[in-house]
Amino acid sequence: MSEDAVERATRTLEEGIVRDDGTAMSYADYLDLGTLLAAQHPRSDPPQHDELLFIVQHQVSELWLKLLVHELRSARALLAEDNLSQALKRLARVKHVQRQLVEMWDVLATLTPSEYARIRPFLATSSGFQSDQYRAVEFLLGNKNADLVRVVEHDDRARASLEQLLEEPTLYDELLRLLARRGYAVPPGVLARDVREPYRLVPELVEVFALVYAAPEEHWGVYETCEELVDVEDLFQQWRFRHLQVVTRTIGAKPGTGGSSGVGFLRRALDLTFFPELYAVRAQVG
What residues are designated binding site for heme?
A: 243
The three-state secondary structure class of 4 is helix
The three-state secondary structure class of 38 is coil
CB 238 within 8 A of CB 102: yes
Taking CB atoms within 8 Å and a gap of at least 24, the contacts of 239-244 are 239/98, 239/101, 239/102, 239/105, 240/266, 240/269, 240/270, 241/270, 242/102, 242/105, 243/105, 244/270
Q: How many residues does the chain have?
A: 286
| CA neighbor of 206 nearest in space, from 127, 283, 94 | 283
Neighbours of 6 (CB within 10 A): 9
Cα–Cα distance between 26 and 243 in angstroms, integer?
37
Residue ranges for the binding site?
54-58, 116, 120, 243, 257
Helices (H) and strands (E) in the chain, counts: 14, 0
Residue ranges for the binding site for substrate?
54-58, 116, 120, 257
How many C-alpha atoms does 268 have within 13 Å on its Cβ side?
5
